Amino acid sequence: HKDKVKAEAYLTRGFEAQSDFFLRIHSYDMAATQAFLVDFRATRFGMNAEVTENLVGMTQALNYITKDKSPNLNAGLIGATYSDATPRYAFVIPVKKNADWWNLTDEQRL
């Protein structure tokens, strides 16, 4: 799977989450992700893990921050670097957009 899937493991024990760890899987191919997870569940570790939640997300090209629409913000994103020590935590913040948001103009959305 190493050619198609990147897996990151995070410990969550001690947080208020209902889990001890979570796996974050990166892949451009959902079938490769599924194959990895099937094989993971067949391992001794995977067989003894209880799945409490399963979230799947897809990314796409930027819609609102483009060279044409937001040149300064786009330049900042492209030029941004991270040179500090490796972070200790990962935070996943789900964002839901309602009908009011979709009815805003591009300028209002930024």
Spell out the residues 6+ positions from residue 23 whose beta carbon is closer than 8 angstroms to its own: 7, 8, 9, 10, 40
Could you give the angle at the alpha carbon of 30 between the alpha carbons of 87 and 65, nearest 5°?
Answer: 60
The per-residue pLDDT for range 86-105, each reduced to its tens digit, is: 777 766 666 778 889 889 88
Indicate whether 15 belongs to any domain.
Answer: yes
**55: helix, strand or coil:** coil
- Does residue 13 belong to any structural domain of this protein? yes
What's the pLDDT at 42?
A: 97
User: 87 in a domain, yes or no?
Assistant: yes
Q: Do 42 and 75 fall into the same domain?
A: no
Structural domain boundaries enclosing 94: 71-109
Q: What is the pLDDT of residue 62?
A: 66
Query: What is the predicted pLDDT for the residue at 101?
Result: 84
CA–CA distance, 74 with 80 (Å, rounded to integer): 10
| Tens of pLDDT, residues 26-41 | 888 889 999 999 999 9
pLDDT tens-digit readout, 35-79: 999 999 999 999 999 888 888 877 666 666 677 878 888 788 788
Residue 25 and residue 5 in contact, taking contact as beta carbons nearer than 8 Å: yes
The pLDDT value given to residue 93: 66
Token pair, residue 98, equals 């309602």
pTM for the model: 0.53
Average pLDDT, the chain: 83
Distance of alpha carbon 67 from alpha carbon 44, whole angstroms: 48
Taking the CA atoms of 37, 53, 27 and 21 in sequence, report the sign of the dihedral they define: negative
Q: Structurally, how many domains does the chain consist of?
A: 2
